[in-house]
Amino acid sequence: MKKIIKLLASITALSPTLIASSCFLDGSYNVHQGNWDFNSFGNIENYKNIDKNSIKINFKNNYSIDFQNNVIAPKIKNIKTIEDLKRVIDEHFIISITALRPHSGWGDGYAQFNHIHIENIPNVFLDHEKVLHFQMHIDSIENFKFENNIMSLKAKFASKNFDKNNKNQPLYYFEHELQIKVGGQNG
């Protein structure tokens, strides 16, 4: 019995240090059901909980210049609708970001404090640890261009996480113009 009491006493003595140096994540998040209505967000902050400088578009695979010229570029040139554009993006591209995930935790003396977790999201179209997948919205096909082997696209992105302070808005949101070089001269 004395051994158990000593063990509990040593664990209790370490508790303030453990609590002060830890950020407990409960694994829960608020999930928006269905698709977002991007027109209903009102005056939403751009780059909401997103590192603006982290947004990148890349190829899904390490495609050769020949493959880009002979397969991907012709598909891009044949894009006529937003659905065509989404299909080509889904097939050949990924969009990566860094999310700035707000979180409340406990500090020294058990005082609550707010802080940010940085979460790298390698593909916004897949669920990640605490940040759910993003829905992409393109207002018009006019927001897409393919000139001089540069594909550019202006789109809005909203995560399936909703903001606990406003359930009608996503917790993570950004509107951004993405650009990527597709094909060109080989060698």
Calculate ∠ Cα 161-166-167, nearest 5°: 50
Which stretches in the chain have pLDDT values below 70? 1-28, 105-113, 186-187
Ramachandran region, residue 124 (left: φ > 0; alpha: ψ -120 to 50; beta: rest) = alpha
Instruction: Provide the 10 A C-beta neighbour count for residue 66.
Output: 10
What predicted TM-score, i.e. pTM, was given to this entire model?
0.79
Q: What is the pLDDT of residues 49-82, one digit of tens each?
A: 999 999 999 999 999 999 999 999 999 999 999 9
- Distance between CA atoms of residues 167 and 177, nearest Å: 26
Closest CA to 176 of 50, 41, 91: 50
Q: State the number of CA atoms in the 13 A half-sphere of 10 facing the CB.
A: 5
